[in-house]
Structure 1
Amino acid sequence: MANGEPVLWSLYVYAPNKIAPAVFAVLYGASTVGHIWQCYLYKCFHLLGLHPLCGALFTLGYALREYGSFNYLYEEENTTVLITFVLSQVFIYICPPLLELANYHVLGRLFYYVPHQAPLPASRVLSIFGALMLIVETLNGIGVSLASNPSGKPTTQELGSHLTIAALSMQFAVIIIFVVLAGLFHFRCAKAGIRTHAVIVPLRTLYTSMVLILIRCIYRLIEHMGSTTVDIDNMEALRALTPVLRYEWFFYVFEATLMFLNSSLWNVWNPGRYLPRSYLVYLGRDGTTEIEGVAVVDERSFGQKVAAVATLGICFRREKTERNWKPDLMDVFPGRKIVNVT
């Protein structure tokens, strides 16, 4: 691990550290418990449910890596070692895009809360970015599973690496779009004199979270831009691999630590502490008055609702009804009307 010297037949390329995965499994486990408790306390499972899910996957991934640190030599007759390694890699690497999706959900929630300053309708945020992240997650999952299998053919590993690069490139582009949207929303709120903690604190947390994910994304891109085809029985080929693969500390600094900091960030500044629990409550143009709306009955069938959720709101959306307008207020809730204006 320290000198970057490869180990023949090692699925990790090197002899993995035996302490670090156990430490991170415990840390992610503690963060997961914190997320579950806060989701229950603030009734925000719908808003931040991806965080405990990803925390559990991270915990499982590092627990499997701990097992792999004692069983890291490839054996053709023992598929358990290989399966454990691949599952560990998949569980660890599929979570960052999901955490990014959680950030889009929070941004959409802020658009619901301050609709008159939102650069696009809140209901479109999750459907648009969710569809993009679904593509990213599919490419990422397939790419990691192919690229992380050292027993596979070089062409298969190369295909997996290319798929991963495509996923990371898309993720990078979507992050930039997100920052532009969030920045425009922040600018509009500041210009309108909206400085409530319910808006500012989640926005600052989002910026920090996206920076952490962006750094991790750049690290992964650099990793796959170098020589990544692992030939576990060829020492010269192993020594020719990119240093990012040969030195384990890159993984623990730019993957494990950054994503743990991201998870902890939302433990400390959970938006459920600041935002109203109901999506029907939103902020008036004066920046201080909260207004409560009443939802129109959803007349879609159960199957249509399931299809809408499965497609992230792209298909079978609610039919829009006539909106009520006030001279100083704008209703952007599709199918809802303004009440209790004060």
Structure 2
Amino acid sequence: MTSTYVLYHYNPSFAAALCFTVAFGVSTAAHLWQACRYKTRFMIPFIIGAIIETLGYAARIVSAKQSPDWSVGPYAIQSLLLLLAPPLLAASIYMVLGRIIRLVEGEERSLLHPKKLTKVFTSGDVLSFLTQCAGGGMLSQAKTESKVLLGERVIIVGLFVQVLFFGGFMILSVLFHRNIHRNPTTASLATDNRGGVPAWKTCLYVLYTVSLLIMVRSIYRVVEYIQGSEGYLQGHEAYLYVLDAALMLVVCGVFIWKHPGALIRVSKK
């Protein structure tokens, strides 16, 4: 097997990797500052995810500079890190919904109690994370086509777990929103006295936005790995940046613009 079969089917862009490394680095710094400002420990997984995105594209810079004699190390690192960052971003999103539910005292309006919600979906995240880790490890050590195929299949399983749990989370969020709208709690109505859209509702809309972006990215990754290393998506770098890098950067940007800690603080006033 040639190295180009295992690694890239194109010349990776140094400029694109550099741009996204800087962008995710700036985003990480902004989230660190906001986490300190609003004392939001529940955003720690999100920050770790942003750091991993930054390191992933930094490793891609190194890999791109090696063209055309790529080594497995930087390639494997960037590939694995870019796979594993979104589940960490999602972990904080689960915790944000739990805090919204408690804030409006809407436990009875949710299909899962906030504590169970966080445990269930975080467990799914961990399972997806570990499965993708295992698949990525197999790919980094693969020397034959059969082992490459095995690694890709394990990653596909991990991605399907991620899509399944995240889809369930999105459905649960919508159902909670519907229930609290039809049968509001005293606490939810108390936050409506400032005029306009209440901050906790704005926070829910933000969750819908970032959740949709992560779901699109996850579906792209599933299709990419189902197609395999010889597939169209893995053969064209642009899709990585449009359907993964850009979407995850927008997720980070949306949470900077409408930070959950700030919205929840406003709702408490």
* Counterpart selection for 1:65 from 55, 60, 65: 60
CA distance in 2, matches of 1:37, 1:10: 40
2:161 is aligned with 1:170: yes
Please give the residue correspondences for 1:80-229 in structure 2 after superposition, counting only pairs within 5 Å. Answer: 81-116=71-106, 117-147=109-139, 152-193=143-184, 194=188, 196=191, 197-228=198-229
Q: Cα offset for 1:111?
A: 1.9
Given residue 253 of structure 2, which amino acid in structure 1 is its aligned partner? S
Given residue 204 of structure 2, which amino acid in structure 1 is its aligned partner? L
Q: Cα offset for 1:155?
A: 1.9
Structure 2 residue matching 1:243: 3-state secondary structure: coil
Q: Cα offset for 1:270?
A: 0.6
Please give the residue correspondences for 1:14-93 in structure 2 after superposition, counting only pairs within 5 Å. Answer: 14-44=10-40, 46-74=41-69, 81-93=71-83
* Structure 1 unaligned blocks of 5 or more: 1-5, 76-80, 229-240, 284-289, 291-342
Conservation of the 8 A alpha-carbon contact between 1:108 and 1:126 = yes
CA distance in 2, matches of 1:21, 1:51: 21
Q: Tell me which residue corresponds to 2:195.
A: none
Structure 2 residue matching 1:94: 3-state secondary structure: helix
CA distance in 2, matches of 1:119, 1:8: 49
Structure 2 residue matching 1:246: 3-state secondary structure: coil
Structure 1 226/37 Cα, relative in aligned 2: closer, same or farther at 3 Å?
same
Q: Tell me which residue corresponds to 1:332.
A: none
CA distance in 2, matches of 1:72, 1:82: 12
Give the alignment's TM-score, normalised by structure 1: 0.70
Q: Cα offset for 1:13?
A: 2.1
Please give the residue correspondences for 1:323-334 in structure 2 after superposition, counting only pairs within 5 Å. Answer: none
Q: Tell me which residue corresponds to 1:260.
A: 249
Q: How many residues align?
A: 256
CA distance in 1, matches of 2:50, 2:119: 24
Given residue 257 of structure 2, which amino acid in structure 1 is its aligned partner? V
Conservation of the 8 A alpha-carbon contact between 1:74 and 1:82 = no
CA distance in 2, matches of 1:64, 1:176: 30
Give the alignment's TM-score, normalised by structure 2: 0.88
2:232 is aligned with 1:243: yes
Deviation string, structure 1 residues 221-251 (Cα, Å, up to 9, x no partner): 11112132xxxxxxxxxxxx11101111011
CA distance in 2, matches of 1:19, 1:213: 24
Given residue 61 of structure 1, which amino acid in structure 2 is its aligned partner? G
Please give the residue correspondences for 1:248-327 in structure 2 after superposition, counting only pairs within 5 Å. Answer: 248-276=237-265
Deviation string, structure 1 residues 133-158 (Cα, Å, up to 9, x no partner): 11110001111232355x52222211
Given residue 50 of structure 2, which amino acid in structure 1 is its aligned partner? G
Structure 1 residue matching 2:255: 3-state secondary structure: helix
Given residue 260 of structure 1, which amino acid in structure 2 is its aligned partner? L
* Structure 2 unaligned blocks of 5 or more: 192-197
Given residue 155 of structure 2, which amino acid in structure 1 is its aligned partner? T
Q: Which structure shows the higher helix fraction?
A: 2
Q: Cα offset for 1:10?
A: 7.7
Conservation of the 8 A alpha-carbon contact between 2:53 and 2:82 = yes
CA distance in 1, matches of 2:171, 2:85: 23
Given residue 47 of structure 1, which amino acid in structure 2 is its aligned partner? F
CA distance in 2, matches of 1:29, 1:10: 29
Structure 1 189/8 Cα, relative in aligned 2: closer, same or farther at 3 Å?
closer
CA distance in 1, matches of 2:68, 2:147: 20
Conservation of the 8 A alpha-carbon contact between 1:51 and 1:99 = yes
RMSD, matched Cα: 2.3
Structure 1 164/110 Cα, relative in aligned 2: closer, same or farther at 3 Å?
same
Conservation of the 8 A alpha-carbon contact between 2:87 and 2:162 = yes
